[in-house]
Amino acid sequence: MKTLILNGSPRKNGDTAFMINTLMEQLSSEYKTVNAYDCNISPCVDCRYCREHSGCAEEDEMQEVYEYIRICDNVVIASPVHFSELSAKLLGIGSRLQMFDCMEMFGKKTPDIKPKKGGIILAGGGVGKPEGAVRTAKILLHTMNCKQIAEPVFSLRTDRVPAYGDKAVLQSLRTLAEFLG
Ligand SMILES: Cc1cc2nc3c(=O)[nH]c(=O)nc-3n(C[C@H](O)[C@H](O)[C@H](O)COP(=O)(O)O)c2cc1C
């Protein structure tokens, strides 16, 4: 079993990082994490190469991530809520998934992606509600062929209680780990 974890937080020891670490401790599968603020992955520039070819023209770390997406069993999208959305850098990585949609739309080919399970983890501590981030995360998970998506894990009062002090979140992470198997 393989799990891809996309981490959208710029904070190394922040709330999202805590929740990811807690999940990883409970996962029986191997995993690969991609840190949106550290990795060498550019956003999609709509060059339209993928309309004519299978694959993406941009030769960066995303090529390795595409391969992992094809073979892994689970994908977890974990992010702070920024203005009611996933973080900007994570959206940048998400934009590169357009390649899979283009394969279907223009190449008339179903991308060869193993069906998988998906998870969503969100940290928030401000006024913007998380629904937009959940909606976007689900779109990205569907693009990566997630057939089942678990209930999102939220820690949404981090302005008052950091994720590590949020008892409910620990239980939700256990449930997510069990779901992912
Ligand atoms: C630019 C920015 C925008 C934010 N917008 C929201 C928001 O819309 N809703 C919310 O609940 N929290 C918002 N927050 C607060 C973060 O989501 C919160 O502090 C979160 O716990 C940070 O997680 P991290 O430590 O994993 O990065 C925002 C923070 C920043 C820096």
Give the number of the atom of ligand 1 that is nearest the alpha carbon of residue 159: 19
What tens digit of pLDDT does each residue of 22-37 get? Answer: 999 999 989 999 999 9
Please check the confidence at residue 88 and state whether its pLDDT lies above 90: yes
158-178 average pLDDT score: 97
Q: 7 near 36, Cβ under 8 Å?
A: yes
The residue segments making up the domain with residue 145 are 2-180
What tens digit of pLDDT does each residue of 29-66 get? Answer: 899 999 999 999 999 999 999 999 989 999 999 999 99
Three-class SS state of 35: strand
Ligand 1 centroid to residue 87 C-alpha, Å: 9
Please check the confidence at residue 109 and state whether its pLDDT lies above 90: no
136-152 average pLDDT score: 98
Please check the confidence at residue 108 and state whether its pLDDT lies above 90: no
The CATH number assigned to the domain holding 140 equals: 3.40.50.360
Q: Count up the domains in the chain and report the number.
A: 1
Return the higher-pLDDT residue of 25 and 110. 25
Ligand 1 touching residue 11 (CB < 6 A): yes
Give the number of the atom of ligand 1 that is nearest the alpha carbon of residue 17: 26
Of the candidates 39, 26, 28, 34, the one whose C-alpha atom is nearest the C-alpha of residue 2 is 28
